[in-house]
């Protein structure tokens, strides 16, 4: 239909006297080729680091090619699906991957890689991500033996039903009940109120046959006089008939409707009307109910183990944040290098959008953030693995620190990513508003991360609580270890004579100057939160919950963010040091394994680390806090600003190379604007042809809506 | 299907010994009733101000009831439509309103009111908003006589085709050509390159039969040796056959595919392959081409007149920004008053989410922003009307100022609104991620405003250019008038001894202290941008375009924002003063006309104005700039922060009343969370029942996708 768009200049335009601005968009890839030639470091070396080595990177590229050719992995219609088609398509993709793994006996890591490449969340997400893990971690050996074959053979599909209409993050508020019936040896699952309706579980709406249901365990007294509430516990409940897929009696289920994104997933609602399940279907690895109705509480270490799972999930969210932001900056940076708008002077070629300072000032700090988040995710995974080792030795000492740190980092990193994706989208101007850019779907699917697995503000408050308790401890003469150890020196840090050591613009590139400034900001944040809170309690000192706490959360959240920013900076710098040191000590295979980089790459990474931190300081009110404290003087603040702007220029030649190094295949990006060859305008036009509205020339409104109005009247 | 969700407490739960936290969600409206009783001012008085008087407010409510009952205005399925259904639905709604206006002989204002209430953008947007206005403003009297009856009788549907694949905001870069053929007296419309393809015009894809096409007017020399390019001009082109709706020969059209939002509109692409149109169809009110091929340039004042249209459009965008943000804060504030999460202490009732400081710290400043934007929109409309009067007297002196001011204000206000809607959505937690909250669609339809009608960054640079030129003038001894008049005193303002006069926390409530601080920030911003720019030119002084300008846009954009923030504050404060003065001078009818408020209302509005400005100062780096300058000392900065937090407490009792005063009918909000009665959980469940996935119990994947896997295996 759009086949005869004229791609050649017409004779008129080729006449010498024409004044039209000549354009050379016929070879769009030239701009990207030129960008790639400007790189000062080895892209493949860095790509190995970011992708776990050469082998994994090549596997990713290879899998992408294979997946693109499958019926269920093809993405050409992805942006055109109705909600129902998206739901069916998401399931087909998940089942396709599942079958392929079985047929080719692939490992779980390959499965996860395929799922990330196909990038089509569907009704199996919680079967894989929550139902099976819950049975493994909370089921007794007998329960695992019974349920795991059913799960792995896809003879049942499960979900995890925790959140209710009335309660999300606050789990203790759940209202669904599981009341033990001593006579029959069954639990009665029941939804006593409207607000107790389960709401949100993925796959619950139309897919799952079973669910792990979190319900308050209610044990009637033996005399039958009262009921004792033991709080939320997990129960396996069958929801649908396996032959007809109809809800079982007493079970009401449905889809909760469309969302911002994630619409391939049938998030559902569920209520129980006195549904009976056998006693055996309470998850009994830890807490138990005996046949005669005695409650056996979990051993004390169990609660710690469940915290560990949370830490793992959050580490995974941080890794995923880095890669999601990486996708967005890849698209936006490549497009900004190809898009040209407005010639600086008559007769000159139009400028690449990336050469406007405000565009670079948006994108380059986000490139830096994506790297910061990547290194943080790696570090958190390493911390988690260390914790596993400790745990196996019965050592749980690191857990409070790990829990507090992972809470705030989950929050800060998902905020940076969600906001960053949207900023990337906006730098693409009008074309970023098109779904064909890939950015709208990326944002719409991603942004739930600021809410789920703990609302970000609530998580920041958990980190803040840890920091404020640490501060209180220090003031009582205790010593703090871990990431908040700087609070041991808080009195010196915040003494009036404490000053930033930067004496020149370039000093802001020094990791020590930056670390000191970020540390000071964090310490100031914690102390300000403490002061505010103490003032609110009428000088009665610190409290960590209740009204005074809730009414003074703004400074606490700020403190948590400042603390996590400091950790992100430290982790970034240390990671680069380690990579460079590894190259020096073993210049051989380590690079291909993604465990080392040379000096040129390390130098660019250090620029990114500096840019990341300068940006965070300027954005988050850090500079204001440092000035207010007298830690920074006016000249230093101006130097910081100048050095931030100069870093944009320093990093500009490496912009495209830095996003190439993420190693995202075009198949994953699925973006007309982000394609590696830079042929963006042809990409838009080619993709637009598939729009369902283009199925006919007249469009779907013509016969019934437009024709009665237009055709009739036009003949008047 | 979900009919037997149990809404009553079961016997078990009513037993006295139960430890479950008792909830009273059965009467959700109680929370809002209670909130409404706490208001310290008259909601109706303020609602009249925000809605143009009692009569208009009541008309709005009445129309909403009528529209909800029409087939095309019913919103019960709105969130469940596929792209194709959305396109057809949007057209049906537009045609429904059009017919109703004809049938009942309603005025244009009523039509606009109905369109805003039905809130369903469709294929007629540009017919109404751009095609008809272009013919009126740029067509000759003969052209108006010919085309207007066709437009108004809907015998044709038009669009406005300006943006191309390769060029949006930079109009001079357009590539489509209209070459005059002297022999036949026709223009030949042609798309010489891929990037010249028209891309984005609303209604172009499948609806419009005609378009005003912006194309470079190319006039061949009489000798035929060359072609002279006169730059972009408007031409009316027929695109589709009126009987078959098929594209005419040489015309390629299609839909550009789905977008973030606005999917009822068929934004389209268009290319011409040497399509001939009569000479008469160039829009010839100003520039002309005579039959013999002579170009008659427009009279000099014409370019000024077209600037005037731009000012009007931007004033309208600012008004709309206030109302869009008002919708979002209405939904989020009501929900935050109803949603309860976590009891402050055992046995106590769970807290309203709005009583967590971080929630209030998000929502109340956004309420304040919505008010600030409302008053700014009103003021800009007044400025525009004044300009119209001046223009009719041949007086164009105010135009540069108006143009510069409206550019930056469009940018700042749409940024505040787009980001604010998303912040509102996030404060609603998980339920905000559901489309049923109304917030996702509001954001998705709104966010294009930061890009269209001039990309926000580009517009800020226009304002910055005006400010920097003004500063250069002042330094050469000229005086500046208008909004930048403070630059006349820039030397005094930025002298080292210039200090903030605040001596107490409460001082920050004073409009003068605040205005002085904002003025100082703006002046500092302009001077810093000038210094940065001068440094980039190697001390050769200021330039306003070219490479040095483009590579130093960050400080310029900051300066523009700081300037506009100052104007927003001034306008807010002056508007409240005027409203209060009007009540004093004529306490009668003026209140019902929405032109006056009493002292109680004025006091609350002044708190909002202070909160708006304190928030902007803290967020935008204003505090850092003031500290860096020594204008603010540490004690003053701390006082500013304390006063900001205290305003949250001061305004808390009026939160719900302040959003009620916007007067949005439930029909407009179409939100399970924002409904005026607060029955949010029932609202979610009722709306979710309509999800297309719930059309069957088994869901659309069962027969072909799930059954082959599950039913077969479950019998193994």
- Tens of pLDDT, residues A266-278: 999 999 999 999 9
For residues A320 and A285, state if they share a domain. Answer: no
Number of H helices, E strands in chain A: 26, 11
Please check the confidence at residue A1 and state whether its pLDDT lies above 50. Answer: no
B400 in contact with chain A, both atoms CB, cutoff 8 A:
no
* Count of alpha carbons within 13 angstroms of residue B609, beta-carbon side: 28
- CB nearest to B91's CB, from A15, A20, A706: A706
- A75, A666 in Cβ contact below 8 A? no
What one-character-per-residue DSSP string does B240-298 give? B-TTT-PBPTTEEEEE---BSS-TTS--EEEEESSEEEEGGGB--SSSEE-TTS-EEPP
What number is the ipTM of this complex? 0.95
Q: What pLDDT is stored for residue B605 in this prediction? A: 98
From CA A663, how far away is CA B691, in angstroms rounded? 39
From CA B165, how far away is CA A513, in angstroms rounded? 46
Model confidence pLDDT, tens digit, residues A157-202: 999 999 999 988 778 889 999 999 999 999 999 999 999 999 999 9
Q: How many CB atoms lie within 10 A of CB B145?
A: 10
Higher confidence at residue A204 or residue A342? A204
Instruction: Specify whether B453 is catalytic.
Output: yes
Please check the confidence at residue A9 and state whether its pLDDT lies above 90. Answer: no
CA dihedral B162, B165, B171, B177 (to 10 degrees): -70
Q: Which of A35, A186, A401, A453 is catalytic?
A: A453
Nearest to A613 by CA among A516, A489, A478, A469: A516
From CA B406, how far away is CA A179, in angstroms rounded? 64
Question: What is the percent of chain B where pLDDT is above 70?
Answer: 94
A697 in contact with chain B, both atoms CB, cutoff 8 A:
yes
For residues A441 and A488, state if they share a domain. Answer: yes
A521 in contact with chain B, both atoms CB, cutoff 8 A:
no
> Which of B298, B322, B346 delimits the end of a domain?
B298
Q: Which of B45, B186, B453, B580 is catalytic?
A: B453
> Which of A641, A660, A679 delimits the end of a domain?
A660
Q: How many CB pairs under 8 A join A and B?
A: 516
Question: What is the percent of chain A where pLDDT is above 70?
Answer: 94
* Res. A233 pLDDT band, cuts 50 70 90: very high
Q: Is residue B682 part of a domain?
A: no
For residues B264 and B336, state if they share a domain. Answer: no
Q: Is residue A699 part of a domain?
A: no
Q: What pLDDT is stored for residue A17 in this prediction? A: 31
For residues A224 and A329, state if they share a domain. Answer: no
Which chain B residue is nearest to residue A343, measuring alpha carbons?
A: B546
Lowest mean pLDDT among A15-29, A399-413, A529-543: A15-29
Q: What pLDDT is stored for residue B587 in this prediction? A: 67
* A259 with B433: Cβ contact below 8 A: yes
The tokens 């550019």 sit on which residue?
Answer: B407
Could you tell me the CA-to-CA distances from A359 to A262, A352, A353, A499, B455 in Å, in that order?
A: 29, 10, 7, 33, 12
From CA A437, how far away is CA B347, in angstroms rounded? 52
Nearest to B576 by CA among B378, B375, B368: B375
Angle, helix B634-651 to helix B357-392, in steps of 10 degrees: 90
The residues facing B211 across adjacent strands are: B159, B237
* DSSP letter (8 states) at residue B178: E
Question: Is residue A336 classed as helix, strand or coil in its secondary structure?
Answer: helix
* DSSP letter (8 states) at residue A216: E
Nearest to B624 by CA among A623, A358, A52, A234: A623
From CA B619, how far away is CA A635, in angstroms rounded? 22
Ramachandran angles phi, psi of A227, nearest 5°: -130, 135
Q: What is the 3-state secondary structure (H, E, C) of A589-635?
A: CCCCCCCCCCHHHHHHHHHHHHHHHHHHHHHCCHHHHHHHCCCCCHH
Please check the confidence at residue B22 and state whether its pLDDT lies above 90. Answer: no
Please check the confidence at residue A253 and state whether its pLDDT lies above 60. Answer: yes
Please check the confidence at residue A716 and state whether its pLDDT lies above 50. Answer: no
* Res. A88 pLDDT band, cuts 50 70 90: very high
From CA B77, how far away is CA B83, in angstroms rounded? 13
* Average per-residue pLDDT for chain B: 92
- B700, A84 in Cβ contact below 8 A? yes
- CB nearest to B165's CB, from A18, A345, A681: A681
Q: What pLDDT is stored for residue A715 in this prediction? A: 52
Q: Is residue B140 part of a domain?
A: yes
Model confidence pLDDT, tens digit, residues B80-119: 999 999 999 999 999 999 999 999 999 999 999 999 999 9
**Residue B606: which domain range?**
305-660
Question: Is residue A397 classed as helix, strand or coil in its secondary structure?
Answer: coil
* B1 with A692: Cβ contact below 8 A: no
Lowest mean pLDDT among A425-429, B13-17, B139-143, B490-494: B13-17
Q: Is residue A25 part of a domain?
A: no
Q: What pLDDT is stored for residue A22 in this prediction? A: 37
Query: How open is the CA angle A288-A293-A297, to the nearest 5 degrees?
Result: 30
Q: Is residue B56 part of a domain?
A: no
* B15 with A218: Cβ contact below 8 A: no
Q: How many CB atoms lie within 10 A of CB A649?
A: 12
Please check the confidence at residue B705 and state whether its pLDDT lies above 70. Answer: yes
Higher confidence at residue B347 or residue B133? B133
Whichever domain contains A159, its CATH number is 2.40.110.10
> Which of A279, A298, A317 delimits the end of a domain?
A298
Q: Provide the pairing of β-strand B268-272 with B251-255.
A: antiparallel
* A243 with B689: Cβ contact below 8 A: no
Which chain B residues touch A446 with a CB distance below 8 Å?
none
Angle, helix B553-585 to helix B399-427, in steps of 10 degrees: 90
Model confidence pLDDT, tens digit, residues B640-655: 999 999 999 999 999 9
For residues B222 and B367, state if they share a domain. Answer: no
- Which strand (E) or helix (H) includes residue B159? strand B158-161
Please check the confidence at residue A589 and state whether its pLDDT lies above 80. Answer: no
For residues B269 and B336, state if they share a domain. Answer: no
* DSSP letter (8 states) at residue A453: S
Which chain B residues touch A191 with a CB distance below 8 Å?
5-6
The tokens 């990671």 sit on which residue?
Answer: A575
Which chain A residue is nearest to residue B545, measuring alpha carbons?
A: A344
- CB nearest to A645's CB, from B207, B257, B554: B554
Q: Structurally, how many domains does chain B consist of?
A: 2
Please check the confidence at residue B454 and state whether its pLDDT lies above 50. Answer: yes
Question: B601 among the known binding-site residues?
Answer: no
Q: What pLDDT is stored for residue B712 in this prediction? A: 65
For residues B364 and B345, state if they share a domain. Answer: yes
The tokens 């969700």 sit on which residue?
Answer: B5
Q: How many CB atoms lie within 10 A of CB B697?
A: 15
For residues B482 and B347, state if they share a domain. Answer: yes
Q: What pLDDT is stored for residue B220 in this prediction? A: 92
Which chain A residues touch B242 with a CB distance below 8 Å?
710-711, 714
Please check the confidence at residue B656 and state whether its pLDDT lies above 70. Answer: yes
For residues B312 and B290, state if they share a domain. Answer: no
Nearest to A358 by CA among B463, B555, B349, B518: B555
B163 in contact with chain A, both atoms CB, cutoff 8 A:
yes
For residues A211 and A255, state if they share a domain. Answer: yes
For residues B517 and B639, state if they share a domain. Answer: yes
* B243 with A711: Cβ contact below 8 A: yes
From CA B131, how far away is CA B213, in angstroms rounded? 10
Model confidence pLDDT, tens digit, residues A289-321: 999 999 999 887 766 777 778 888 999 999 999
From CA A446, how far away is CA A414, in angstroms rounded? 9
Q: Mean per-residue pLDDT for A122-139? A: 95
Question: A674 among the known binding-site residues?
Answer: no
Nearest to B352 by CA among B366, B364, B341: B341
From CA B46, how far away is CA B24, in angstroms rounded? 32
Q: Mean per-residue pLDDT for A597-609? A: 97
Q: Which residues, 6 or more positions from B696, have their beta carbon under 8 angstroms from its beta carbon?
A: B702
Model confidence pLDDT, tens digit, residues B466-486: 999 999 999 999 999 999 999
For residues A272 and A323, state if they share a domain. Answer: no
B285 in contact with chain A, both atoms CB, cutoff 8 A:
no
Q: What pLDDT is stored for residue A396 in this prediction? A: 86
Within its chain, how far is the Cα of B129 from the centroid? Answer: 15
Q: Is residue B635 part of a domain?
A: yes
Q: Is residue B91 part of a domain?
A: no
Query: How open is the CA angle B51-B54-B58, to the nearest 5 degrees?
Result: 85
Q: Give which of B6, B230, B464, B641 to mutate to test A binding, by max A Cβ within 10 Å.
A: B6
The tokens 């000191």 sit on which residue?
Answer: A516
Q: In which region does residue A18 sit, left (phi positive, over 0), alpha (psi from -120 to 50) or beta (all else)?
A: beta
Nearest to B643 by CA among B500, B519, B521: B500
Q: Is residue B452 part of a domain?
A: yes
> Distance, in angstroms, between B590 CA and closest chain A CA?
40
Q: What pLDDT is stored for residue A15 in this prediction? A: 31
pTM of the model: 0.95
Which chain A residue is nearest to residue B123, measuring alpha carbons?
A: A701
Whichever domain contains A415, its CATH number is 1.20.140.10
In A239-358, the DSSP E strands lie at 251-255, 268-272, 275-278, 288-289, 295-296
């Amino acid at each position: 239909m759009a086949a005869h768009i004229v791609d050649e200049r017409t004779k008129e335009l080729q006449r010498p006297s024409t004044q039209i601005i000549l354009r050379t968009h016929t070879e769009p890839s030239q701009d990207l080729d030129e960008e790639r030639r400007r790189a000062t470091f080895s892209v493949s070396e860095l790509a190995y680091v970011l992708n776990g080595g050469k082998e994994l990177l090549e596997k990713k590229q290879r899998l992408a090619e294979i997946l693109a050719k499958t019926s269920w992995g093809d993405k050409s219609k992805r942006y055109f699906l109705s909600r129902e088609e998206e739901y069916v398509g998401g399931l087909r993709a998940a089942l396709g991957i599942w079958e392929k793994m079985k047929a080719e006996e692939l490992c779980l890591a390959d499965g996860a890689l395929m799922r990330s490449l196909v990038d089509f969340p569907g009704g199996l997400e919680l079967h894989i991500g929550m139902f099976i893990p819950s049975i493994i971690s909370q089921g007794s050996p007998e329960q695992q033996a019974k349920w795991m074959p059913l799960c792995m053979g896809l003879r049942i599909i499960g979900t995890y039903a925790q959140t209710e209409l009335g309660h999300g993050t606050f789990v203790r508020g759940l209202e669904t009940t599981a009341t033990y019936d001593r006579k029959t040896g069954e639990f009665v699952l029941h939804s006593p109120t409207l607000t107790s309706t389960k709401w949100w579980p993925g796959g619950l709406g139309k897919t799952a046959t079973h669910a792990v249901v979190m319900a308050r365990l209610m044990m009637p007294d033996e005399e039958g006089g009262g009921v004792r509430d033991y709080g939320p516990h997990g129960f396996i409940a069958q929801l649908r008939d396996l032959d007809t897929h109809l809800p079982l009696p007493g079970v009401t289920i449905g889809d909760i409707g469309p969302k911002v994104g994630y619409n391939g997933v049938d998030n559902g609602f569920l209520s129980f009307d006195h549904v009976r399940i056998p006693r055996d279907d309470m998850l009994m690895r830890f807490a138990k109910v005996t046949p005669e109705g005695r409650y056996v509480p979990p051993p004390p270490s169990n609660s710690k183990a469940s915290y560990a799972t949370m830490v793992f999930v959050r580490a995974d969210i941080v890794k995923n944040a880095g890669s999601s932001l990486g996708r967005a900056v890849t698209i936006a940076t490549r497009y900004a290098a190809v898009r040209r708008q407005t010639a600086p002077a008559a007769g000159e070629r139009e400028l690449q959008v990336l050469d406007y300072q405000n565009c670079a000032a948006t994108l380059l700090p986000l490139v830096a953030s994506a790297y910061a988040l990547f290194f943080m995710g790696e570090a958190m995974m390493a911390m988690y693995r260390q914790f596993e080792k400790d745990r196996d030795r019965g050592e749980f000492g690191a857990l409070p620190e790990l829990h507090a740190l992972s809470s705030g980092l989950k929050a800060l990193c998902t905020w940076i990513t969600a906001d960053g994706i949207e900023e990337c989208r906006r730098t693409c101007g009008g074309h970023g508003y098109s779904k064909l850019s890939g950015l709208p779907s990326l944002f719409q699917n991603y942004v739930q991360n600021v809410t789920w697995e703990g609302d970000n503000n609530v998580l920041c408050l958990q980190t803040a609580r840890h920091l404020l308790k640490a501060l209180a401890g220090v003031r009582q003469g205790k010593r703090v270890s871990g990431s908040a150890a700087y609070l041991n020196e808080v009195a010196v840090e915040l003494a009036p004579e404490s000053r930033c050591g930067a004496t020149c613009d370039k000093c802001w590139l020094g990791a020590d100057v930056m670390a000191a400034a970020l540390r000071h900001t964090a310490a100031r944040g914690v102390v300000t939160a403490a002061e505010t809170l103490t003032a609110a309690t009428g000088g009665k000192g610190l409290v960590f919950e209740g009204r005074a706490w809730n009414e003074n959360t703004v400074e606490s959240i700020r403190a948590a963010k400042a603390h996590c920013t400091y950790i992100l900076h430290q982790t970034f710098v240390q990671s680069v040091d380690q990579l460079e040191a590894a190259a020096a000590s073993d210049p051989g295979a380590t690079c291909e394994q993604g465990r080392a980089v040379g000096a040129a790459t390390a130098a660019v990474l250090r620029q990114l680390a500096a840019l990341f931190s300068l940006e965070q300081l300027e954005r988050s009110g850090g500079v204001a806090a440092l000035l207010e404290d007298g830690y920074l003087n006016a000249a230093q603040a101006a130097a910081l600003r100048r050095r931030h702007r100069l870093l944009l220029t320093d990093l500009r030649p490496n912009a495209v190379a830095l996003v190439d190094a993420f190693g995202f295949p075009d198949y994953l990006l699925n973006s007309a604007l982000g394609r590696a060859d830079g042929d963006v305008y042809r990409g838009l036009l080619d993709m637009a042809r598939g729009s369902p509205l283009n199925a006919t020339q007249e469009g779907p409104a013509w016969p019934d809506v437009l024709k009665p109005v237009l055709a009739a009247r036009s003949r008047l």
